[in-house]
Amino acid sequence: MGSGEFDLISRYLAPLSGLGAYGLTDDAAVLTPPEGKDLVFTKDALIADVHFFADDPPDLIARKAMRVNLSDLAAMGAEPLGYLLALAFPKDMKNIDGWMAKFSAGLKLDQEEFGWSLYGGDTVSTSGPLMISLTAIGIVDRGQALRRRGAKLGDNIYVSGTLGDAAFGLKSIQGEFAAIKTSAIKPLIDRYHLPRPRLGLGRKLFGIATATMDISDGLAGDLRHICALSGFGAEIEAELIPLSDKVGKLLESFPAYKNLIWNGGDDYELLFTAPKDMDGEIDRLSRELGLSLTIIGHITTEKSVIIRDSDGINLLQDDDQGFRHF
């Protein structure tokens, strides 16, 4: 730990630290847990050129790292309290200082947006790519954390928002839609860079949802987790999966990409199941939040995930994450 590390931490991270974090000058941060709350913990590691591009704008990298973890908190029905951050910088990285100035500006923006702060930081040097590891701490009313298990036979399956936007945004970054004009693509790229953790929805689902998770790896694969943990299967109607206008338009020109809707990652929408008689309650919640909550299928006895087209044909292939029986 050279003096450079202390400079980076004191200059860029200490100003972001929360009450009890002592400006990151102590061996650890201290937090008095709020009365009557449970604490929720999650941790993700993000590696350059695996989870983000090394030359992405640093403020967007920071905000994505935060939001990916905030989405996990949302899936538990929790509110953000604080986070810890470890950064590994490539040995040959130029202008770490300039990068950190932008990265910390991104952290600050989303600290304010989501009302949480920094409780610990570590910076190290690596012979490999840039790495960011973030541990998120959330709070939830005692005993009210949402779970992945708990889906019941016949439950409706819901998703928030629209699916596939981030996956199409990523394809576009990778140069797939070069012929399409930028204005038709830009919002999809933004969705890839800046997930919108559904915290407002998550904290309203206790007593409504029987199982909840966030969609980070694609609908098919993620739904498979809910099914496996709940001991059931799921049948989805492809036509019910909510799409944005932009993705709908792109699919007209690129129908081969249809499977991105259920196999593409980075949506960070919430996927949840609820008894059929909760439908009215969920409609009301959707209007209250100004967020679409769409029934896309239901829980079945057969222990597999099926996505049917309008002719009843299963669209999931052997190599799709959701297909395998479990």
Q: How far is the CB of 69 from a second copy (least distance, A)?
A: 9
**Minimum CB distance to a second copy smaller for 190 or for 217:** 217
> 260 CB contacts (<8 Å, ≥6 apart)?
164, 167, 168, 171
Question: What is the layout of strands, in order, in the sheet containing 270-274?
Answer: 211-214, 270-274, 156-160, 293-300, 233-237, 305-308
Kindly tell me which of 62 and 145 has the beta carbon lying closer to a second copy: 145
**Quick one: 41 or 283, whose CB is closer to a second copy?**
41
DSSP lists the bridge partners of residue 213 as 271
21 CB-side CA count, 13 A: 22
**Minimum distance of a second copy from residue 188's CB (angstroms):** 22
- Could you tell me the CA-to-CA distances from 140 to 145, 149, 192 in Å, in that order? 6, 18, 28
CB nearer to a second copy: give 28 or 313: 28
Kindly state the smallest distance separating residue 87's Cβ from a second copy, in Å.
8
Closer CB to a second copy, residue 164 or residue 322?
Answer: 322
DSSP 52: B
With H, G, I as helix, E, B as strand and everything else as coil, classify residue 113: helix
Least distance to a second copy, CB of residue 60, Å: 19
Closest approach of a second copy to the CB of residue 208, in Å? 17
- Residue 31, CB half-sphere, CA atoms under 13 Å: how many? 22
Residues β-bridged to residue 319: none
Q: Residue numbers of the site for a second copy (CB under 8 A)?
A: 1, 3, 20, 22, 25-33, 37-47, 49-51, 72-73, 75-76, 78, 82, 84-88, 90, 119-122, 124-129, 131, 133, 135-138, 140, 142, 145, 147-149, 213-214, 216-217, 225, 229, 321
